Amino acid sequence: MKRAAGFLRIASFAGVALLARAAEPEPTPAPEPIVRLPPMIVSDTAGGAKWLYASVRGDEYLSRCSRSTTVAFVASWSRALERLHAVVPDAFLADIPSVTVLNDSTTKPKADDQVAREVLRLDNAMAQPNSRSAVGFLPNLELDGRDLSAWFAYIDEGMSDSRELAISPPYLRFLLERRTPMLPPWLVEGLLVVNAQVDVRAEAVTLRPFIWLSSAESSAIARNPARPRALLPAGEMFAPDALRAEGDHHPQRVQTLRTQVGLFVRWALDPRHQAREAFWAFAQRASAERVTEELFIKNFGFGFSDLRDRLSDYLPLAVKEPLHLEPRARTKGPRIETRDATPAEISRLRGTWERLEIAHVQKFYPEYAARYIAQARRTLRRPYEEGDKDPRLLVELGLCEIDAGNSAAGLPFLEAATAAAVPRPSAYYEVARLRFLELMRDQSPNRLCSAAEIAPVVEPLRRAIKLPPQLPEVFGLLADTWIRARESAPAEDVEALARAAHYFAMNPAVSYRIALALARSGRRAEATELLAHGIDYVADDAGRIRYAQLQAALTKPEPAPR
């Protein structure tokens, strides 16, 4: 295989981490400087090893490693997910399929490539931060799409047996943040903190002793449980605006908040407190409504001040002892079968990766963008031109053109894919978005459309709503469309918007629009509730004023029916 530009972003090295089994726990490594490099282009396969294909629970793997290494990787990844589920129930994670492209590390970029050499140097530095380190790093990059995530990783064939994969914080954040109803930020941060403590070397799922602010501070509290310590009041811990007001940005406060939410999650998971069920029930409610002390009491039986006290009293124990989570009934790992990948699969999956690279490169290295677009197009078009009309391929072709800025070329692919009922909500969304733009082109901003005019927009949105994952932009566009309509939205769409009010209250990009559409549909109470909840998550003053104005308008009596 010819490698065109084997570049990895050092920030993502911690993405999928290979961790050795032995050796003592290592304190959290100091943050390394981030060197941003354009991602890998996987060039053509001529002359390289053959590609293997595997599919497990809807996730697809394309591997140029040996069969045993591929199976070991997939099995290890499955165990990592199982450990994750011992900390975070499935219901709190977005169900988003992934594509993983694995490469043998011997095919790394040549050393005469300046950027590649830089990658390798960083790779080595990360792999051996010091002589006691038990942590190895798998060079990899993960890129997220709307309804799909993709990985690219190098595997060292010689090091596969005794290593365990761990879920990277960015990937877990992606899974948590894309879950619907949306999880409140404190919960996302708390789960990230706790998951980072999972000791992958332990047999049972075990959290290492908690790190409170720093290793030194944690040791000091472990030695002296009466050591003074600052914890935020629980009300502030749950408040979306805890760090927003002037005077609330002090680094000590910021760091305390971020660590404290992790302490709360750990406390809740600790079987000694018998609070796990209450915690997840509370988390469920907190993702759909504003957290109040009453809500907390209803779930836990005590109030915010008691919670702060209990966390403070728990801290000396948390920093001192590992926490063995009750092992769940171990599922028998999934059956992993590999086979030779078909040319269509190779092109589609590689093309998917390359298509996702486009947005990344456009954002960070625009000077390389044209190369990446060309590469993705080449990879995806090859099977298409050979007659492959797999709707999954069509979606990638369409999205590739849109990412390349050529929407007109992309739309037919997407329309064909949606006509074939492809299970990708982003395809339906893009079709609807492009039709909406077309409908609104050169129109006065106040122009209202007829139901017939907006039908081509609404129809794909309705289909997208029925597919996982639920995309906020789908509901945002549905709201925009009905805001611009002369007629009232039908019950089906109003119900969808009402559902979205619960899903996306914490997303200021869509909550206002959904509230406005609900209000126009006569669902004032739900709109008011959404605004009251959503305003907490609006960061800027101007935005909050807009929310407040709409709230005020909604408190006025409804006009009498004519």
Interface with another protein (CB under 8 A):
220, 224-233, 235-236, 247-248, 250, 252-253, 256, 273, 293, 302-306, 308-310, 312-313
Q: How far is the CB of 65 from another protein (least distance, A)?
A: 50
Q: How many other CB atoms are found less than 10 A from the CB of residue 498? A: 17
Considering the complex, state which of residue 130 and residue 274 has its C-beta at the smaller distance from another protein. 274
| Cα gap 117→482, rounded to integer Å | 54
Q: Are strands 98-104 and 59-63 parallel, antiparallel or unpaired?
A: parallel
Q: How far is the CB of 53 from another protein (least distance, A)?
A: 53
| Cα gap 303→531, rounded to integer Å | 26
Closest to 477 (Cα-Cα) out of 430, 522, 544, 438: 430
| Cα gap 51→312, rounded to integer Å | 53
Q: How far is the CB of 318 from another protein (least distance, A)?
A: 15
| Cα gap 104→82, rounded to integer Å | 25
Considering the complex, state which of residue 256 and residue 470 has its C-beta at the smaller distance from another protein. 256
The DSSP 8-state label assigned to residue 198 in this structure reads: B
- Cα→Cα distances 459→120, 147, 423, 453, 547, Å: 49, 19, 15, 11, 29
Q: How many other CB atoms are found less than 10 A from the CB of residue 330? A: 10
Q: How far is the CB of 187 from another protein (least distance, A)?
A: 21
Q: How far is the CB of 287 from another protein (least distance, A)?
A: 23
Q: How far is the CB of 290 from another protein (least distance, A)?
A: 15
Considering the complex, state which of residue 220 and residue 344 has its C-beta at the smaller distance from another protein. 220
| Cα gap 532→475, rounded to integer Å | 19
The contacts found for 266-269 with CB under 8 angstroms, 24 or more apart, are 266/193, 266/194, 266/197, 266/207, 266/210, 266/318, 266/323, 267/310, 267/311, 267/314, 267/318, 269/87, 269/194, 269/207, 269/323, 269/325
Residue where the block lists tokens 């941060």? 189
Considering the complex, state which of residue 186 and residue 304 has its C-beta at the smaller distance from another protein. 304
Considering the complex, state which of residue 233 and residue 405 has its C-beta at the smaller distance from another protein. 233
Q: How far is the CB of 285 from another protein (least distance, A)?
A: 18
Considering the complex, state which of residue 253 and residue 502 has its C-beta at the smaller distance from another protein. 253
Considering the complex, state which of residue 275 and residue 417 has its C-beta at the smaller distance from another protein. 275
The contacts found for 175-179 with CB under 8 angstroms, 24 or more apart, are 175/93, 175/94, 175/96, 176/88, 176/92, 176/93, 176/94, 177/94, 178/94, 178/96, 178/469, 179/92, 179/93, 179/94, 179/287
Q: How far is the CB of 253 from another protein (least distance, A)?
A: 5
Q: How far is the CB of 276 from another protein (least distance, A)?
A: 15
Considering the complex, state which of residue 157 and residue 302 has its C-beta at the smaller distance from another protein. 302
Considering the complex, state which of residue 133 and residue 312 has its C-beta at the smaller distance from another protein. 312
Answer yes or no: are the C-beta atoms of 348 and 379 closer than 8 Å. Answer: no
